[in-house]
A = this chain, B = another copy of it.
Amino acid sequence: MNIYLAGPDVFLPDAIDIGRRKVEICARHGLTGLYPLDNTVDLAAADASLNIFKGNEAMMDAADAIIANLTPFRGPGADAGTVYELGYIAGRGKRCLGYSNDPSIYADRVARLGRVTDMPDGRRIDSLGLTVENFGLSDNLMMMHALDLHGCALVTPRQPPADIWHDLASFEACVRFAADVAAR
């Protein structure tokens, strides 16, 4: 089973090393991890970003499933590129797995980032008057229920690990689930 390893991990200073660790964990469970940075792209080329896209899309098309790192990134929710890829894999009818190393609830994170108001009708709104999704979910309902219905529920730790960008316990839980499915 080929697993596309999506996540903002590619933006870490040690992006290549973390990809290697993820691929090794997959191999230990009999799975093949496909990590976006394994695509060979000349970053100095004018069409570098297009080549990254094409490489990632081809890798997703070669995958049977995704494990998406949905740990909040540069804002209250998951990294946009990762979210796009989760949607793409769901659209292809493939298995969707994901984890977040932040066990908190989306509506609570928005409240920590700025003023929110709980209205008499039950809606929570932010300082611009925009509704804050408030269903007690870890992130936007489209992602969360895509996992529920097309793979398995988001994996989160009870407490945030000491290093949210390098702890791979929840990632490995996803790998174990995928390996169980592959063995059926």
Contact = CB atoms under 8 A, between A and B. Distances in A.
Interface of A: 8, 10-13, 15, 43-44, 48-50, 52-54, 56, 73-81, 83-92, 110, 122, 125-126, 129-133, 135, 137, 139-146, 148-149
Contacts of A73: 130
10 contacts: A12-B129, A13-B129, A74-B75, A74-B130, A75-B75, A75-B77, A81-B133, A84-B142, A85-B87, A90-B91
Nearest to A50: B145
Contact of A77 (B50, B80, B142): B80
A137 B49 CA distance: 9
Contacts of A86: 84, 87
A6 to B, nearest CB: 10
Contacts of A8: 130
A49 B52 CA distance: 34
B130 A80 contact: no
A73 B113 CA distance: 13
A80 B81 contact: no
A85 B11 contact: no
A87 B119 CA distance: 33
Contacts of A12: 129-131
Contact of A91 (B56, B79, B91, B122): B91
